[in-house]
């Protein structure tokens, strides 16, 4: 498989935007007709409702955006059938030409980290044979444990053409508590960013970007701008846009002049853009996706991607 | 349900030791007869082998130790059937009187963190009704995102009598990269520990310990001793003992004079203590568990627990 950073750049260019749609199903926010049809008697019913909903979202957004990101927590909370559904949902997304990000923020050491990397990427190795589990194109990882704990993800990414997005600045209000601690003159999140930059430089694709990216919340535009200068050739995965309060303009510094370099994720703003009672929820998801693309294009150099696409570049 | 710290103290006193056995199944380390019987054709076979193995381990260690800790990664890597097996394995452990720790090192924000806490503790809330998923007594959590991201775990723990172990000093060789960064005169892991101490003081049980504990690797005995002075009334969960290189004597400072305060986990040293070809693997697990208990008792004040138990205190 080609280098992840190149596959991402190609996908972004092909769609003319770099929006990621979050596949983060929550029962109370699903369309009511879908909830009624599947029922709420047990978690298996919830899992089947999640799967139908996510499949519809995928079919709606696949012609529009390059990436989907699945938040692991919502599938785990809905029990084993939802975990099984997640792997089928990611498979469907791949079949529709989408790049898939498993947002699990995993972190552990040695053989345990290797097991997470297998879950995310190449699959479990049983007596010499690989058995895919999630088979995602990229995964999110927490850096607190240090490089050796991230290593199995880097190895899996290098071997299988996958990407790793390391948490640098998260989008929550409390991110500052530890991430802003002054570490000998520079805040912790900048220290983490410096390490991410080094890891990313070890495996660059022809696009110039590395297979290791950074998670940077849209809710911290000043920090996002600072991080772009520390990390010039690193893909940013940007959560926190829209429902969490991040603005389109705030993501601007994350984009290069050519419109590459940042993937902006929207979850609730797209997949919960409708009144659950409404029957036209699919039209609402499509409209919200298009609106997200045009809002970001209006405020950032992402617009250049669409321009180039229009003239066939 | 009673306060987690008290339930843990009671369980430790009742067994006369504070050893946790790691339920971390890995295919290549399972007894060969078990692998042959279940077969390796697909991940469902692997999952059923894991379940039989873990059930046997539980039955062997339940009379001996107070706690088991299941490493989430190994179940996730073996696919959805193994994830389903994990919840049954934890249920069996509870039925055998063991306290259960879900070692998932989860971390995320807002509703997502709440979904992880539901997975760990009280279960998914669907139309006002709770559906248990893992229903563990405690869970491990990564602190990088800050207090608001840990909050849903603290709330779940308070409501349901559960415990949260926050990563402070991990057991891997690379832990120093970020955890030792100098944050205005004190290393990051001490800063995290100070926060953990504050969170823990908010919800103390009658034992004096809080429901929030700290993960501190046995592989860093000096840091472990330093952390005990920062966190006098916090349960430590100590990985890295045995196979990873942590010594029994090195865990000594984690224990109070009464033998309480620390849970020492051993995974490979117990559940992979046998030659996979051997037929007497169950006897080996039992012997390794007893050896772990006696090694720790010989080197730490944990011995006082057994003394008190012997005289009926």
Instruction: Name the minimum distance, in Å, from the CA of A118 to any CA of chain B.
Output: 6
Q: What is the pLDDT of residues A185-221, one digit of tens each?
A: 999 999 999 999 999 999 999 999 999 999 999 999 9
- Residue B24: closest C-alpha in chain A: A112
- All residues at 6 or more sequence positions from B140 whose CB lies less than 8 Å from its CB, including other chains: B101, B102, B103, B104, B105, B106, B164, B165, B166, B167, B215, B237
Mutate to test the interface with B, among A34, A38, A79 (most CBs of B within 10 A): A79
Closest among B107, B114, B126, B88 to A80, alpha carbons compared: B88
Cβ atoms of A100 and A68 within 8 Å: the answer is yes
| Average pLDDT estimate for A60-69 | 98
- What pLDDT score does B311 carry? 82
- All residues at 6 or more sequence positions from A232 whose CB lies less than 8 Å from its CB, including other chains: none
- In chain A, which residues have their Cβ closer than 8 Å to the Cβ of B113? 73
Kindly calculate the radius of gyration of chain A based on its CA atoms and give it in whole angstroms.
19
Pairwise CB contact (< 8 Å): B143 & A144: yes
- What pLDDT score does B308 carry? 86
Cβ atoms of B163 and B200 within 8 Å: the answer is no
Mutate to test the interface with B, among A26, A72, A82, A126 (most CBs of B within 10 A): A126
| Average pLDDT estimate for A169-188 | 97
- How many CB atoms within 10 Å of residue A173? 16
Distance CA A252, CA A304 (A): 13
Distance CA B143, CA A174 (A): 11
- The shortest CB-CB distance from A133 to any of B71, B77, B115 is to B77
- What pLDDT score does B285 carry? 98
- In chain B, which residues have their Cβ closer than 8 Å to the Cβ of A182? 183-184
Distance CA B222, CA B227 (A): 9
Distance CA B11, CA B86 (A): 22
Question: Among the options B32, B105, B290, B308, which is catalytic?
Answer: B105
Q: In which residue ranges of chain B is pLDDT below 70? A: 313
Closest among A287, A181, A168, A272 to A226, alpha carbons compared: A168
- The shortest CB-CB distance from A142 to any of B78, B107, B118 is to B107
- The shortest CB-CB distance from A142 to any of B46, B112, B144 is to B144
- How many CB atoms within 10 Å of residue B222? 9
pLDDT at A313 > cutoff 80:
no
- What pLDDT score does B312 carry? 74
The tokens describing A231, both together, are 């990390």
Instruction: Name the minimum distance, in Å, from the CA of A290 to any CA of chain B.
Output: 25
Mutate to test the interface with B, among A145, A153, A214 (most CBs of B within 10 A): A145
Instruction: Name the minimum distance, in Å, from the CA of B105 to any CA of chain A.
Output: 7
Share above pLDDT 70 across residues of chain A, in percent, rounded to a whole number? 100
Query: Is B105 considered catalytic here?
Result: yes
- The shortest CB-CB distance from A73 to any of B78, B105, B116 is to B116
Distance CA A144, CA A120 (A): 19
Phi and psi (nearest 5°) for B21? Answer: -100, 125
The tokens describing B252, both together, are 């000594």
Instruction: Name the minimum distance, in Å, from the CA of A205 to any CA of chain B.
Output: 26
Distance CA B190, CA B200 (A): 15
The tokens describing A124, both together, are 């479990």
Instruction: Name the minimum distance, in Å, from the CA of A313 to any CA of chain B.
Output: 39
- H-helix segments, B121-168: 147-160
Instruction: Name the minimum distance, in Å, from the CA of B157 to any CA of chain A.
Output: 16
Pairwise CB contact (< 8 Å): A174 & B146: yes
- Residue B176: closest C-alpha in chain A: A146
Pairwise CB contact (< 8 Å): B146 & A172: yes
- Residue B77: closest C-alpha in chain A: A119
Task: Considering only residues B244 and A170, tell me which one the structure prediction assigns the higher pLDDT.
Answer: A170
Pairwise CB contact (< 8 Å): A76 & B170: no
Closest among B258, B204, B235, B205 to B13, alpha carbons compared: B258
| Average pLDDT estimate for A148-170 | 97
- Residue B78: closest C-alpha in chain A: A124
Pairwise CB contact (< 8 Å): B40 & A129: yes
Pairwise CB contact (< 8 Å): A188 & B181: yes
- All residues at 6 or more sequence positions from B92 whose CB lies less than 8 Å from its CB, including other chains: B55, B58
- H-helix segments, chain B: 4-15, 32-38, 43-61, 72-77, 80-95, 110-120, 147-160, 176-179, 188-201, 221-230, 268-271, 281-299, 303-310
- The shortest CB-CB distance from A105 to any of B40, B108, B118 is to B108
A107: three-class secondary structure by DSSP: coil
How far from A223 is each of A170, A228, A253, CA to CA, in Å? 10, 9, 10
- In chain B, which residues have their Cβ closer than 8 Å to the Cβ of A172? 109-110, 145-146, 148-149
A-B contacts (CB, under 8 Å): 213
Q: What is the pLDDT of residues A254-311, one digit of tens each?
A: 999 999 999 999 999 999 999 999 999 999 999 999 999 999 999 999 999 988 888 8
- The shortest CB-CB distance from B40 to any of A127, A173, A188 is to A127
The tokens describing B253, both together, are 């400072």
């Amino acid at each position: 498989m080609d280098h992840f950073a190149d596959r991402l750049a190609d996908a972004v260019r092909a769609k003319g935007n770099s929006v990621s749609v979050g596949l983060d199903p929550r029962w109370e926010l699903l369309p009511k007709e879908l909830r009624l049809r599947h029922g709420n008697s047990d978690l298996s019913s919830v899992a089947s409702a999640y799967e139908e909903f996510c499949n519809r979202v995928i079919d709606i957004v696949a012609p529009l955006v390059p990436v989907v990101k699945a938040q692991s927590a919502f599938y785990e909370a809905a029990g084993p059938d939802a975990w099984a559904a997640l792997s089928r949902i990611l498979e469907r997304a791949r079949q529709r030409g989408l790049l898939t990000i498993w947002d699990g923020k995993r972190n552990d050491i040695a053989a345990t980290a290797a097991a997470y990397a297998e879950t995310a990427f190449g699959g479990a190795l049983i007596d010499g044979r690989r058995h895919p589990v999630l088979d995602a194109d990229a995964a999110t990882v927490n850096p607190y444990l240090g490089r050796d704990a991230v290593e199995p993800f880097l190895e899996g990414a290098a071997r299988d053409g996958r990407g790793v997005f390391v948490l640098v600045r998260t989008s929550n209000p409390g991110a500052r508590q530890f991430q802003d601690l002054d570490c000998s003159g520079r805040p912790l999140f900048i220290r983490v960013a410096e390490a991410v930059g080094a890891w990313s430089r070890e495996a660059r694709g022809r696009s110039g970007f590395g297979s290791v990216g950074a998670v940077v919340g849209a809710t911290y535009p000043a920090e996002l701008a600072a991080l772009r200068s520390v990390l010039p050739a690193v893909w940013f995965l940007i959560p926190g846009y829209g429902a969490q309060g991040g603005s389109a303009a705030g993501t601007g510094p994350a984009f290069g002049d050519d419109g590459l370099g940042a993937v902006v994720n929207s979850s609730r703003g797209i997949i919960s853009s409708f009144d659950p009672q409404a029957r036209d929820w699919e039209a609402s998801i499509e409209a919200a996706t298009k609106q997200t693309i045009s809002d970001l294009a209006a405020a950032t150099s992402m617009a250049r991607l669409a321009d180039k696409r229009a003239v066939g570049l």
